[in-house]
């Protein structure tokens, strides 16, 4: 069995930076194991047409190296999937990381051996490894959710999930296509399918909020400005709660007149992007304030859509704005103005089954050549729980987490010594511009391992008390917002049948979280126990 100091599971943003940190800074013998045939994580798998990042390009990248930042130019305001994948390949090549990555191997088992204090790892290709440190970089939106709808196996056409898109692409020309789901993914995908499909039928269960992205190709002057301002950009995105390059306004919604508020919303709408949610500071804490922005969005959508029935269905919002991750779009609402696009409201007429030739709802039968599931993920915990993970005293992770995930800071799990999670439950990552959370997590883990190596510790472990306290911090913080109005969201595990309904991310922003982590380190890693046995 091959032994390593550290094994990292996953070769996306997290795995790449963690490998560089452990191998090049700490000189540890480190291996990345990745289930895909190549690196990229999310950006390797999500190749559906229209796949694009909602964070602005110059913020959705690593900032740990000035040189890497300055030697790369993003061509558009928001980057397409293939460009992000190209960027990750550029970083990996620059740092010569690929030679320490093992592809096409899914970690299926990770058991902690208390006698040796080592992790035993096994992959689906029957490769086995030992390591002292095990780090999960499996991603928070990576385990595809294919809803359990009766009859899928009978379907004679083709079907796809957006998160496992075929590398050869899909030809929609002259095809009758069903798209199930209107999350960020579905909203990006529909306008692309509609360009060539004979007919696109969009199955919507809950309406989603979507803001214009206002994507554009950026000019050389803009690219230069980004490169010339590395430090300012870095400081900014490390200081805002969401890790994006915009501050939340210090004004409350009702501090301004109705007229001025409308102007502010209009201006934000024209600018486009996620900054729209930061126009007033109380949008996610005051329901009346939230209603003003919901009404503005409704008006905008209603004037864009020609079919007034469709406009009503897509704006029949069931939860307040920004209580789930808001989505960005390019021509999503305009797509419904095309003759080949129809909207099917399955909140009124739900899907009964998939048949040989299509989809049957309670009241109708539809025929399709292709069904696309844009139905999201078993988010935050799904990928980790797909591994047979066993810690001390034979605790199974699935057993420990049966009532919801338990972690300390989203970085360690009680009973799982020397195991760290990047973007795990309890971390703020999914509520932020994710690479900013990843950089913080990787740097914390690297410093912690460095501390262990210097002091010759054999194990680090958190405990139940601190993990339960952290759970309490999250629960209390989320109750102070409007987010609990949307318990059916994946942030609560609400999209997966049988999943415990627990709010999973830390909701109070990245700088506050970072400060908590720093204070804990100053208090000699309060809540973690180091051992030398």
Q: Per rule CB under 6 A, is residue 181 in the interface with ligand NA7?
A: yes
Taking the complex as a whole, the smallest distance from the CB of residue 430 to ligand NA7 amounts, in Å, to 7
Q: Per rule CB under 6 A, is residue 205 in the interface with ligand NA7?
A: yes
Q: What DSSP letter does each residue of 451-492 carry, written as one string?
A: HHHHTT--EEEE-HHHHHHHHHHHHHHHHTSSGGGGTTSGGG
Q: Per rule CB under 6 A, is residue 435 in the interface with ligand NA7?
A: no
Q: What DSSP letter does each residue of 325-388 carry, written as one string?
A: --EEESSHHHHTTSTTEEEEETTTS-EEEE-SSEEEESS-EEE-SEEEE---B-TTTHHHHTSE
Residue of 36, 38, 111, 147 that binds ligand NA7 (CB under 6 A): 147
Residue of 6, 85, 374, 510 that binds ligand NA7 (CB under 6 A): 374
Q: Per rule CB under 6 A, is residue 307 in the interface with ligand NA7?
A: no
Of 23-31, 177-185, 302-310, 364-372: span binding ligand NA7 (CB under 6 A): 177-185
The angle that helices 230-239 and 220-228 make with each other, rounded to 10 degrees, is: 70
Of 87-95, 125-133, 202-210, 478-486: span binding ligand NA7 (CB under 6 A): 202-210
Residue nearer to ligand NA7 on the CB measure, 6 or 274: 274
Sites for ligand NA7 among residues 311-350 (CB under 6 A): 325, 346
Straight-line distance from the first to the last Cα atom of the chain, in angstroms, rounded to the nearest whole number: 23
DSSP code for 153: G
How many whole angstroms separate alpha carbon 57 and alpha carbon 77?
Answer: 6
Q: Per rule CB under 6 A, is residue 490 in the interface with ligand NA7?
A: yes
The residue whose two tokens read 């795990």 is 424
Residue of 30, 79, 184, 412 that binds ligand NA7 (CB under 6 A): 184
Of 117-125, 220-228, 375-383, 515-523: span binding ligand NA7 (CB under 6 A): 375-383
DSSP code for 256: S
Of 9-17, 106-114, 232-240, 487-495: span binding ligand NA7 (CB under 6 A): 487-495
Of 77-85, 102-110, 370-378, 388-396: span binding ligand NA7 (CB under 6 A): 370-378
Residue nearer to ligand NA7 on the CB measure, 120 or 488: 488
CB atoms within 10 A of CB 119: 25
The residues facing 119 across adjacent strands are 112, 131
Residue nearer to ligand NA7 on the CB measure, 31 or 434: 434
Q: Which of 138, 149, 176, 171 is nearest to 373 (CA)?
A: 149
- Is residue 39 within 8 Å of 180, Cβ to Cβ? no
Q: Per rule CB under 6 A, is residue 504 in the interface with ligand NA7?
A: no
Q: Per rule CB under 6 A, is residue 249 in the interface with ligand NA7?
A: no
- Is residue 494 within 8 Å of 506, Cβ to Cβ? no
- Is residue 166 within 8 Å of 364, Cβ to Cβ? no
The residue whose two tokens read 């789930």 is 324
How many whole angstroms separate alpha carbon 507 and alpha carbon 509?
Answer: 6
Residue nearer to ligand NA7 on the CB measure, 7 or 178: 178
Sites for ligand NA7 among residues 221-240 (CB under 6 A): none
- Is residue 326 within 8 Å of 211, Cβ to Cβ? yes
The residues facing 130 across adjacent strands are 3, 120
> Dmax of the chain from CA atoms?
71
Q: Is the dihedral of CA 474, 478, 483, 486 positive or negative?
A: positive
Residue nearer to ligand NA7 on the CB measure, 41 or 414: 41
Residue nearer to ligand NA7 on the CB measure, 207 or 410: 207
Residue of 6, 31, 180, 289 that binds ligand NA7 (CB under 6 A): 180
Structure token digits, residue 18: 């963690």
Q: Which of 222, 243, 211, 214 is nearest to 13 (CA)?
A: 243
Residue of 177, 182, 194, 343 that binds ligand NA7 (CB under 6 A): 182
Residue nearer to ligand NA7 on the CB measure, 333 or 416: 333
The 3-state DSSP composition of the chain as helix, strand, coil percent (nearest 5) reads 40, 20, 45
Taking the complex as a whole, the smallest distance from the CB of residue 149 to ligand NA7 amounts, in Å, to 6
Structure token digits, residue 417: 């010594």
Of 59-67, 175-183, 287-295, 386-394: span binding ligand NA7 (CB under 6 A): 175-183
The Cα-based distances of 480 to 205, 275, 319 in angstroms read: 28, 22, 16
Q: Per rule CB under 6 A, is residue 41 in the interface with ligand NA7?
A: no
Taking the complex as a whole, the smallest distance from the CB of residue 453 to ligand NA7 amounts, in Å, to 36
How many residues bind ligand NA7 (CB under 6 A)? The answer is: 22
Residue of 10, 49, 50, 183 that binds ligand NA7 (CB under 6 A): 183
Q: Per rule CB under 6 A, is residue 376 in the interface with ligand NA7?
A: yes
- Is residue 337 within 8 Å of 347, Cβ to Cβ? no
- Is residue 491 within 8 Å of 504, Cβ to Cβ? yes
- Which residue sits closest to ligand NA7, CB atoms considered? 183
How many whole angstroms separate alpha carbon 344 and alpha carbon 307?
Answer: 13
Of 117-125, 201-209, 211-219, 519-527: span binding ligand NA7 (CB under 6 A): 201-209
Sites for ligand NA7 among residues 45-64 (CB under 6 A): 54
Q: Per rule CB under 6 A, is residue 375 in the interface with ligand NA7?
A: yes
- Paired sense of beta strands 101-102 and 30-33, if any: parallel
> Given the rule CB under 6 A, which residues bind ligand NA7?
54, 141, 147, 180-186, 203, 205-206, 325, 346, 374-377, 488, 490, 495
């Amino acid at each position: 069995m091959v032994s390593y100091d550290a094994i990292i599971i996953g070769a996306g943003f997290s795995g790449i930076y963690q490998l560089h940190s452990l191998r090049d800074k700490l000189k540890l013998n480190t291996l990345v194991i990745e289930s895909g045939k190549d690196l990229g994580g999310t950006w390797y798998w999500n190749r559906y047409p229209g796949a694009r990042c909602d964070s602005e390009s110059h913020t959705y990248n690593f900032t740990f190296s000035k040189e890497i930042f300055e030697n790369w130019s993003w061509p558009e305001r928001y980057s397409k999937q293939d460009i992000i994948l190209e960027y990750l390949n550029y970083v990996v090549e620059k740092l010569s990381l690929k030679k320490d990555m093992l592809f096409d191997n899914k970690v299926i088992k990770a058991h902690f051996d208390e006698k040796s204090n080592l992790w035993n790892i096994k992959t689906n290709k029957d490769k086995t490894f030992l390591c002292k440190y095990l780090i999960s970089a499996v991603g928070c939106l990576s385990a595809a959710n294919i809803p359990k709808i009766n009859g899928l196996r009978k379907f004679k056409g083709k079907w796809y999930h957006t998160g496992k898109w075929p590398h050869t692409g899909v030809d929609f020309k002259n095809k009758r296509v069903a798209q199930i789901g209107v999350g960020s993914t579905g909203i990006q995908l529909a306008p692309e399918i509609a360009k060539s499909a004979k007919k696109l039928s969009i199955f919507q269960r809950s309406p989603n909020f979507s803001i214009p992205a206002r994507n554009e190709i950026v000019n050389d002057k803009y690219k230069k400005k980004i490169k010339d301002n590395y430090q300012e950009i870095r400081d900014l995105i490390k200081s805002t709660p969401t890790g994006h390059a915009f501050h939340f306004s210090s004004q409350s919604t009702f501090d301004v007149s109705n007229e001025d508020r409308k102007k502010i919303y209009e201006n934000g709408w024209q600018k486009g992007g996620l900054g729209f949610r930061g126009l007033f500071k109380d949008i996610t804490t005051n329901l009346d304030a939230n209603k003003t922005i919901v009404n503005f969005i409704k008006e905008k959508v209603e004037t864009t859509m020609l079919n007034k029935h469709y406009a009503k269905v897509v704006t029949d919002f069931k939860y307040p704005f920004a209580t789930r991750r808001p989505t960005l779009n390019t021509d999503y609402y305009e797509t419904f103005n095309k003759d080949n696009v129809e909207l099917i409201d399955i909140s009124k007429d739900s899907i009964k089954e998939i048949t040989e030739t299509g989809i049957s709802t309670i009241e109708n039968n539809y025929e399709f050549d292709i069904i696309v599931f844009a139905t999201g993920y078993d988010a935050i915990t799904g990928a980790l729980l797909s591994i047979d993970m066993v810690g001390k005293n034979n605790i199974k992770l699935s057993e420990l987490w049966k009532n919801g995930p338990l972690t300390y800071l989203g970085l360690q799990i009680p009973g799982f010594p020397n195991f760290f999670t990047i973007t795990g439950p309890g971390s703020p990552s999914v509520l932020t511009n994710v690479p900013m959370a990843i950089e913080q997590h990787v740097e914390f883990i690297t410093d912690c391992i460095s501390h262990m190596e210097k002091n010759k510790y054999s194990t680090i472990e958190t405990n139940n008390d601190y993990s339960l306290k952290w759970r309490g911090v999250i629960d209390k913080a989320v109750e102070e917002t409007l987010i609990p109005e949307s318990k059916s969201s994946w942030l609560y595990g609400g999209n997966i049948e049988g999943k415990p309904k627990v709010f999973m991310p830390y909701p109070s922003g990245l700088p506050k979280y970072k400060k908590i982590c720093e204070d804990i380190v100053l208090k000699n890693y309060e809540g973690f126990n180091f051992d030398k046995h």
